[in-house]
Structure 1
């Protein structure tokens, strides 16, 4: 077969075993837009053995070689000089053949005398390859290959063998990747669908230019699942999108397929089913399965993150423009043949919404994948701590630093950021000054890291350390591991932003680079939180504590400088200051902070009006472009009904935008009137709460627990982790006794007094209470309302006379 140099866009990395040897599989697209598989048989698994100080490495080496097993022999044991938490150490690099044997050898090697620890044995083989070869998914590479030709085993255009390591080609171009989204609907009369009993009655698939679906004609889902498999294979996507598909659609499809005898091998390797991976994601050979819910759940403004809510909020598909069927009623639309077309439209709207949301979220995910090395199907599912960690592992490899093992720890609290008590009331023309990447810059300036931390009992020169206000000390040299990582990230972001200035904002290259700089920012800002994360390999509570102490000092000193310049400080929180905007004084403050304190600060936003209660982290404002910001109120909390959110947002709008307290009172009274008349849809009255435990583990019966039990008694099934939506109905006794699942309730049953007194009034009073409004006024009691309007009239007269 001929040898050639190929230009190749990397999508995913996996491996398989051939003839008792591992082969790395590189899936992607070549320059001719062919789907190709590159096989690299040259790489072998290994781990490190950390030796105790003064131990004879030769004797340990000999003992390790004695452990060699015929099925996966130890190929070599090589002495290497490494760093461990910044300190020079001797280690042995142990290389074997089969990746699965690494962990077995780890446990055996640990028992050898003179071994302090065994490291990097828990790094997955495909990720080990990505790290060692410096690969970045969603990047172009030149690679010398040998053509192997087509293979009946792989659903690709061609297969090649890798002859040399890949060389990245820096390009902002992206190939035309094929993508589809899918959604399934399930027949179920009794709550949560169960794959062992409930068939799939409809499947929809959306692509860039079409939406298609298959609705079952009988309760057998054989034809529906068969259609799904054939359509996926025919469309041959590189990317497969679903919404909550890792938790529902994929496990459901796989289980139903087993029961009816269909092999759901929809990937690019014949005969291999989708399998659950490290972070609960489903892996499809040669395709990237992306759960859009993993990205949507980070949109904190959306309280209940259903697909239709997220699509509506982000404007890709408004609720009024699509069919919506309550989940507990889906079976009715299939049972009645005249309603099946409505079911089809509902299913298709879900698939299309998922595709349109993917176009928003996935480009950012691709850039996170590019930076961390985690393939796209994993990078969304992985918690942010793991994203940072994989990036740090790449840095560790490049600076010869050994990766520590993961240790389970209890959460340890420490003093956090400074949060000032705000000046209560409405303020006009307020500037928010934001310290650019405050915590990352503190970590860089003071060389913070577990490798530079002076531990108890260690000797140090007072001139060679930085001392935090918390008392922790950090050596000034050499550069901390975290500092190396952060400097690279911040310099990369600056470089990207400079390049963005040269590009047309409407160009594809601009979009790619803009998403990349956002991904860089996410990783950089997460370094501080990572240090205090109990699951972190490079955990350092003292480091996190020191950083927050420097942060508190920086904010306090900045407040003093602001006041000396005559600026009124309204509020301060972590890395932001809120001041009454005076252009000349604010510009001077920015300059003084940068010169005297050595930190960059900028104007993040300016509010026309800003309202504070006496509580910290709770405010609402209207920006210069007319947008309303709400922080900390019920409107953005998950334990309040939609009606409370709606009322509060409208009250804030009327008070801040229109300056009309009277109109706000009248609005609230109108909502109360509609509620009493049963004119508020029950969906707006639902309170959502997650079942954190099994029902039998709850000692105190909270409303959502009571509602869940009510559902179970009526044949519905609920499990730990389910979101329970309930309403409060009329009746006597404790609140928990009057909580019912919303889908088993009607508007006529609603306890309107509860919603008035515990949802609508409190939500409105958080704002209106400051203006002298009482609950009586909102309830429309004449005396209070007349007195208020009289007082308002008197105030207006005084203002005119003044």
Structure 2
């Protein structure tokens, strides 16, 4: 019989001395099922040295067999390694953990050149070999079996024949998602599970149900037990949290042990959550997704707290939700009136988490489907690892052996072209972007670790020779990366064409859009991946050649634009800022496409944009009224929110109204409000990351002193943590007056002069200073300015 199912996850277990691949899924009728494949066995490849006899080497490898996990097969296979045919043996054993042992033994044989693919996890090996696509529908030839008592599913099957994806990635109509958030009460600094109880666990389901499990005073045994029971009753397919991989789940697991409970929440009884690859927490039969992984990929948001990210993405406004610092939990918990506020705070967190799931999961599911990494892993994996799994899928499909990962020293190379901008105000500017410039360069010049010439004679007839750096790449045959990238870009074109057939607000459009976005990210990561020292397909020369061709390409386009009389204002990597003269812009785009073989298009048009003399620093007003700010304090991480707000507002006034005096008056009004203690405290928090242990700092930086104060309160902060502080009034250096933000409750304690002189005025002057405005002008009383235009000031600086 055949069964069609939506694949959630792939795992394995050893039972009766043999490995079973376990597939967790959902059928079309909504049944949660488990499929077991008992036939698959772990293996790896041995590449023989040039002069070795494959038959003799096979006999030697068979002689390594150990009865605990015997070598059951050694067979020659037709494979390529970096594009070249090799003499390879596929070595198969029984127990997955034994692969590592045999790998080391095989490496010791003198006839062996390489031992490959011995570091691929058994369940992922099965997924690669069968082309499985997580978060997608599959069909398999199966035999139904009784459901083993250890599985919490409706039906069970043994895979007896084929198993393959259908290409359908639409999620089941009844896919069940559960969002959760925990609150911990601590009275002595950082929460510690051996001491501090979980006082609230809030949950919300995709069907709309909301529940809270609360402690009886400080007894949290029923909280965790109730939460566990709810998960088993609701039986979610996906569990989402925010920083749940590094806080909620580890805390619940440790707290459960102390209370004598078992956090048995999976679809395999007795299988507690556990930390797995990439640092994610794995729940048997369910997909645990930490949404913080996706929030961390939003560069515009410097503080990745749940409330800030939810506000930024339009899920829940910070101004409309309850905010409570965890150091205040004890007084809220013990006061019956305030406890209601704390419960509302938890619900707001849960609502925000579910709202973010709606924003992030569609993309994450498409990313999982394309890369082959299960949904719970793909978010925690780096962009490099995501691309690498896609490359591993393609290598398996194309008969290419997968290289080992060998850590190396980082080797720098020259980057992209960044032009010196023409400083000043510019009206009506078009931004031209090359479409997938670096992937297309890799395709055009057949760049890859399998096509590079290392030694031998380089000729322009047979090779593509990179400008400046001189690296040579074979024109023929087609390289691995060229083939993969052509497939990715063709898929993206196909998806974008399909999108046009559906209304923008339709589910079909959204699914296709998320998929094409995932494809774009993977394609654009290929160049950087080759320059990443942790990559299996590492090739520094390849990455260096791509940037060299990129520099020549954009320089050629700039020269052609100038020859047409089209003024170029700025250029950066794969984009150009030019006068928006439509007929000339079109002529330039035609030249790029027809003469150079690249696609370039107008990405955006600025009604007005200004540049300083510095590269990568500009601000522009888009046609729809939005303001773009690049390279100023507004997007840096070590400035208070109020500085960012001031800079954005100043830029908006300047570019929208061309009114310098109004911008000056606005800054003066903020200065006045600061002096009166009317700026909300949360806008004054300065965040800085600890790059080393607190005790290792020699200089007394404000965030380091704030971290030391936190430690004295029992709140441990480690390398990589962000420390938030507010500068308060008092004697001594600024660094000595940096207080952890949660301990500052009275706005009158804030050192307004510090924020005016070191935050507000400098942030505003990074924009206004260009027009000749001084700090003295900004500190005058509000309302004292005249009414001169932007261009009155511009003439001073451009004359």
TM-score by length of 1: 0.96
Task: Say which SS state the counterpart of residue 604 (structure 1) adopts.
Answer: strand
- State the 1:21 CA deviation: 0.5
Which residue matches 1:17? 14
Which residue matches 2:60? 63
Deviations 1:38-65 (A, max 9, x none): 1111111111112211112233222221
Which residue matches 1:183? 181
- From 199, 202, 206, give the equivalent of 1:201: 199
- State the 1:414 CA deviation: 0.6
Deviations 1:9-63 (A, max 9, x none): 1111101111110101111111111000011111111111122111122332222
Which residue matches 1:160? 157
Separation in structure 2 between the aligned mates of residue 451 and residue 572 of structure 1, nearest angstrom: 32
Deviations 1:169-216 (A, max 9, x none): 233532120111000000012332111211100000011212211221
Most deviating of 79-88 and 545-554: 79-88
- From 102, 107, 116, give the equivalent of 2:104: 107
Most deviating of 544-553 and 113-122: 113-122
- The 8 Å contact of residues 606 and 623 in structure 1, kept in 2 or not, is answered as yes
Deviations 1:464-504 (A, max 9, x none): 10001121110011111111110110011111111111123
Which residue matches 1:775? 775
Separation in structure 1 between the aligned mates of residue 89 and residue 791 of structure 2, nearest angstrom: 85
Separation in structure 2 between the aligned mates of residue 717 and residue 562 of structure 1, nearest angstrom: 57
Matched, 1:133 2:142: no
- State the 1:602 CA deviation: 0.3
- State the 1:733 CA deviation: 4.1
Separation in structure 1 between the aligned mates of residue 141 and residue 442 of structure 2, nearest angstrom: 41
Most deviating of 772-781 and 364-373: 772-781
- State the 1:794 CA deviation: 11
- State the 1:91 CA deviation: 1.6
Separation in structure 1 between the aligned mates of residue 606 and residue 35 of structure 2, nearest angstrom: 54
- The 8 Å contact of residues 661 and 788 in structure 2, kept in 1 or not, is answered as no
Which residue matches 1:749? 749
- State the 1:752 CA deviation: 1.9
Most deviating of 511-520 and 711-720: 711-720
Deviations 1:120-143 (A, max 9, x none): 111111111111101101211221
Separation in structure 2 between the aligned mates of residue 35 and residue 795 of structure 1, nearest angstrom: 70
- The 8 Å contact of residues 172 and 509 in structure 1, kept in 2 or not, is answered as no
Deviations 1:127-175 (A, max 9, x none): 1111110110121122111111333211110110011121322335321
Separation in structure 2 between the aligned mates of residue 701 and residue 174 of structure 1, nearest angstrom: 53
Which residue matches 2:653? 654
Which residue matches 1:581? 580
Deviations 1:347-403 (A, max 9, x none): 111011101110111010001101110000000000000001000001111121111
Task: Say which SS state the counterpart of residue 247 (structure 1) adopts.
Answer: helix
- State the 1:8 CA deviation: 1.1
Which residue matches 1:33? 30
Deviations 1:236-274 (A, max 9, x none): 000100001001000001000111011111010000100
Which residue matches 1:709? 708
- The 8 Å contact of residues 245 and 290 in structure 2, kept in 1 or not, is answered as yes
Separation in structure 2 between the aligned mates of residue 793 and residue 247 of structure 1, nearest angstrom: 50
Separation in structure 2 between the aligned mates of residue 541 and residue 794 of structure 1, nearest angstrom: 48
Matched, 1:477 2:479: no
Which residue matches 1:593? 592
Matches within 5 A, 1:412-427: 412-427=411-426
- State the 1:781 CA deviation: 7.3
Matched, 1:232 2:227: no
Which residue matches 1:94? 91
Task: Say which SS state the counterpart of residue 163 (structure 1) adopts.
Answer: strand
Separation in structure 2 between the aligned mates of residue 736 and residue 181 of structure 1, nearest angstrom: 40
Matches within 5 A, 1:393-412: 393-412=392-411
Matched, 1:332 2:331: yes
- State the 1:722 CA deviation: 2.1
- State the 1:795 CA deviation: 4.8
Separation in structure 2 between the aligned mates of residue 489 and residue 792 of structure 1, nearest angstrom: 50
Separation in structure 2 between the aligned mates of residue 69 and residue 110 of structure 1, nearest angstrom: 16
Which residue matches 1:46? 43
Which residue matches 1:117? 114
Deviations 1:508-566 (A, max 9, x none): 22211111100000000000110111100101110010000110111111011111111
Which residue matches 1:467? 465
What runs of 5+ residues in structure 2 fail to find an aligned partner?
none
- State the 1:338 CA deviation: 2.0
Separation in structure 2 between the aligned mates of residue 548 and residue 430 of structure 1, nearest angstrom: 26
**1:78/1:624 Cα in 2 relative to 1: closer, same or farther (>3 Å)?**
same
- The 8 Å contact of residues 367 and 516 in structure 1, kept in 2 or not, is answered as yes
Which residue matches 2:557? 558
Matches within 5 A, 1:628-707: 628-707=627-706
Task: Say which SS state the counterpart of residue 492 (structure 1) adopts.
Answer: helix
Matched residue count:
791
- The 8 Å contact of residues 659 and 790 in structure 2, kept in 1 or not, is answered as no
Most deviating of 697-706 and 264-273: 697-706
Separation in structure 1 between the aligned mates of residue 198 and residue 167 of structure 2, nearest angstrom: 45
Separation in structure 1 between the aligned mates of residue 324 and residue 705 of structure 2, nearest angstrom: 25
Separation in structure 1 between the aligned mates of residue 754 and residue 706 of structure 2, nearest angstrom: 16
**1:136/1:795 Cα in 2 relative to 1: closer, same or farther (>3 Å)?**
closer
Matches within 5 A, 1:453-602: 453-455=452-454, 457-469=455-467, 470-602=469-601
Task: Say which SS state the counterpart of residue 164 (structure 1) adopts.
Answer: strand
Separation in structure 2 between the aligned mates of residue 505 and residue 790 of structure 1, nearest angstrom: 45
Separation in structure 2 between the aligned mates of residue 620 and residue 33 of structure 1, nearest angstrom: 51
Separation in structure 2 between the aligned mates of residue 441 and residue 427 of structure 1, nearest angstrom: 31
- State the 1:331 CA deviation: 2.4
- The 8 Å contact of residues 191 and 718 in structure 1, kept in 2 or not, is answered as no
- The 8 Å contact of residues 613 and 766 in structure 1, kept in 2 or not, is answered as no
- From 143, 148, 155, give the equivalent of 2:145: 148
Which residue matches 1:280? 279
Task: Say which SS state the counterpart of residue 193 (structure 2) adopts.
Answer: coil
- The 8 Å contact of residues 151 and 158 in structure 1, kept in 2 or not, is answered as no
Task: Say which SS state the counterpart of residue 279 (structure 1) adopts.
Answer: helix
What runs of 5+ residues in structure 1 fail to find an aligned partner?
none
Deviations 1:717-765 (A, max 9, x none): 2223321101222344443222221122343332222211111111000
**1:465/1:793 Cα in 2 relative to 1: closer, same or farther (>3 Å)?**
closer
Separation in structure 2 between the aligned mates of residue 71 and residue 351 of structure 1, nearest angstrom: 49
Task: Say which SS state the counterpart of residue 201 (structure 1) adopts.
Answer: strand
Task: Say which SS state the counterpart of residue 350 (structure 1) adopts.
Answer: helix
Task: Say which SS state the counterpart of residue 246 (structure 2) adopts.
Answer: coil
- State the 1:714 CA deviation: 2.9
Task: Say which SS state the counterpart of residue 279 (structure 2) adopts.
Answer: coil
Matches within 5 A, 1:293-372: 293-372=292-371
Separation in structure 2 between the aligned mates of residue 204 and residue 781 of structure 1, nearest angstrom: 49
- State the 1:320 CA deviation: 2.2
TM-score by length of 2: 0.97
**1:392/1:631 Cα in 2 relative to 1: closer, same or farther (>3 Å)?**
same
